Copies of this chain bind each other. A is one copy, B any other.
Amino acid sequence: MIVVMQTDASDQQITSIVERVTDLGLVAHLSAGEERTIIGLVGTTPLPPTLDEMLEAYDGVEQVIRVTKKYKLSGWDFHPEKTTIPVLDFVIGGAEVTIIAGPCSVESEEQTLETARGVRAAGARILRGGAYKPRTSPYDFRGLGEDGLKILATAREETGLAIITEVMTPSDIENIYDYTDIFQIGARNCQNYNLLEEVGKAGKPVMLKRGMSLLIEEWLQAAEYVLSQNNPNVIFCERGIRTFETQTRNTFDVAAVPVVQSLSHLPVFVDPSHAAGKRPFVGSLSLAGIAAGADGLMIEVHPNPDHALSDGNQSLDLEEFGELMPRMSAVAQAVGRSVHQPTVLSPA
Q: Please list the residues of chain A having a beta carbon within 8 angstroms of any beta carbon in chain B.
A: 42-44, 70-72, 134-142, 168-171, 188-189, 191-195, 197, 211-213, 215-218, 221-222, 224-225, 228, 241-248, 251-259, 262, 275-276, 280-281, 284-285, 287-293, 327, 330-331, 333-335
Contact in complex: A136, B275 (CB < 8 Å): no
Can you list 7 A-B pairs with a CB-CB distance of less than 8 A? A137-B221, A211-B212, A241-B245, A251-B253, A259-B281, A262-B280, A287-B335
Please, which residues of chain B bring their CB within 8 A of the CB of A42?
A: 139
On whether A287 and B280 interact (CB within 8 A), knowing A70-B137, A248-B255, A335-B327, the answer reads no
Contact in complex: A136, B70 (CB < 8 Å): yes
Name A286's closest neighbour in chain B (CB-CB). B291
Please, which residues of chain B bring their CB within 8 A of the CB of A248?
A: 255, 259
State A192–B216 Cα separation when bound (angstroms). Answer: 21
When all copies of this chain in the complex are counted, the total is 4
Please, which residues of chain B bring their CB within 8 A of the CB of A188?
A: 191-193
Contact in complex: A276, B255 (CB < 8 Å): yes
Please, which residues of chain B bring their CB within 8 A of the CB of A222?
A: 136
Instruction: Select one of B72, B212, B255, B287 contacting A292, CB under 8 A.
Output: B287
Contact in complex: A251, B243 (CB < 8 Å): yes
On whether A216 and B247 interact (CB within 8 A), knowing A221-B136, A334-B333, the answer reads yes
Instruction: Select one of B137, B169, B189, B275 contacting A255, CB under 8 A.
Output: B275
Most buried by B among A218, A255, A335: A255
Please, which residues of chain B bring their CB within 8 A of the CB of A327?
A: 334-335
Instruction: Select one of B197, B218, B255 contacting A136, CB under 8 A.
Output: B218
State A334–B290 Cα separation when bound (angstroms). Answer: 12
Please, which residues of chain B bring their CB within 8 A of the CB of A191?
A: 134, 136, 188-189
On whether A228 and B288 interact (CB within 8 A), knowing A194-B169, A213-B242, A255-B248, the answer reads no
Tell me the minimal C-beta distance from A34 to chain B in angstroms. 25
Please, which residues of chain B bring their CB within 8 A of the CB of A288?
A: 254, 288-289, 291-292
Name A293's closest neighbour in chain B (CB-CB). B284
